Amino acid sequence: MTVEAVTGREPAVFDIVDESDLIRVRKVLRTEAEATGLNLVDTTKLITAGSELARNILNYATGRRGRVSIEQVSRQGRRGVQATFCDDGPGIDDVDLAMTDGFSTRGSMGLGLPGARRLVDDMTLTSAAGRGTTVVIVKWQR
Amino acid sequence: MTEDVVPVMRIGDTLLVALQGDLDDTTVIRIEDQLTREIARSAATGMLIDVSRLSVVDSFIARVLARIVAMVRLLGAQAAVVGIQPAVAITLVELGVPMGHLDTALNAEQGLALLERLRRGDTGTGRP
């Protein structure tokens, strides 16, 4: 099933370089979620997932920097909000392991990726050692 | 000396602090420092942290909240988190943040009653 961008709207694209960008990620996600008509619980879940993924970039990516792109999308007439987080970091050796609850290489609770996945409708993670990581999440209107 | 980042109200022996806005990590850590100092300085026996005006609580903020409660207890007082928004509660449970050990109440009024019970050592909530 193809996901299409909602025409006439530019995606919001910006760098994630420090924690003030985390606030910006939350703010833009809220704006787009409300414009798309997501309900309050789904909006809160999407913003929280985005906050976790943006923080992953600050914690793990090389140079602690990355980029996010946030846009409204549609699939078979249903609208949603999509956010793409990418970095040029070390990449993830074992994607399945990284998606496991409680797994962390940093002594954190290891909830970032598996937790974010539970909060959204679709999540795809593309990564390879040395080639960075791209995570795409989508939350669809009910 | 670090300056205060949140206003703290005192009701009897209890400190009440209301968090609001979109908190960045640095602010959250500064709040943690302030509240820990405040409970030691004031010799209050309880603290209520009102989060009803936080529309998002991610795993970082949740972790620091749990830390604040743990530190308040180490300093000999009781602490509870009050006013978690329903959407935030649903999100935290799905995210998997362990918050079950935290004392919580629906609002500040019920929080005061909860602290009173905790001070008496009466858990009365079915908790061990």
Q: Does residue B127 form part of some domain?
A: no
pLDDT tens by residue, B31-67: 999 999 999 999 899 999 999 999 999 999 999 999 9
| Total number of domains constituting chain B | 1
pLDDT of residue A7: 64
Q: Does residue A6 form part of some domain?
A: no
**CB spacing of A41 vs B90 below 8 angstroms:** yes
A45 CB neighbours in chain B (<8 A) are 87, 90-91, 94
Comparing CA positions, the residue from B122, B128, B116 lying closest to residue B45 is B116
Q: Which CATH number is A101's domain given?
A: 3.30.565.10
Q: Does residue A4 form part of some domain?
A: no
Q: Does residue A133 form part of some domain?
A: yes
Distance, in Å, from the CA atom of A113 to the CA atom of B107, rounded to the nearest integer, reads 32
Distance from CA of A128 to the nearest CA of B (A): 25
| Total number of domains constituting chain A | 1
Comparing CA positions, the residue from B7, B104, B4 lying closest to residue B62 is B104
Q: Which two tokens stand for residue A8?
A: 């006439």
Host domain of residue A42: 11-140
Give the residue, A71 or B100, on which the prediction is more confident: A71
CB of B95 less than 8 A from some CB of A:
yes
Q: In 3-state terms, what secondary structure has residue A103?
A: coil
B90 CB neighbours in chain A (<8 A) are 41, 44-45
User: Is the separation of the CB atoms in A116 and A110 below 8 Å?
Assistant: no
Comparing CA positions, the residue from B34, B38, B36, B39 lying closest to residue B5 is B34
Distance from CA of A101 to the nearest CA of B (A): 8
pLDDT tens by residue, A25-75: 999 999 999 999 999 999 999 999 999 999 988 887 778 889 999 999 999
Q: Does residue A3 form part of some domain?
A: no
Q: Which CATH number is B44's domain given?
A: 3.30.750.24
Q: Which residues contact A47 (CB under 8 A, 6 or more apart)?
A: A26, A29, A30, A33, B55, B56
Distance from CA of B105 to the nearest CA of A (A): 20
**CB spacing of A44 vs B95 below 8 angstroms:** no
**CB spacing of B24 vs A19 below 8 angstroms:** yes
- Across A1-5, A33-37, B10-14, least confident range: A1-5
Distance, in Å, from the CA atom of A86 to the CA atom of A13, rounded to the nearest integer, reads 11
Indicate the pLDDT class of residue A103, thresholds 50, 70 and 90: low
**CB spacing of B96 vs A111 below 8 angstroms:** yes
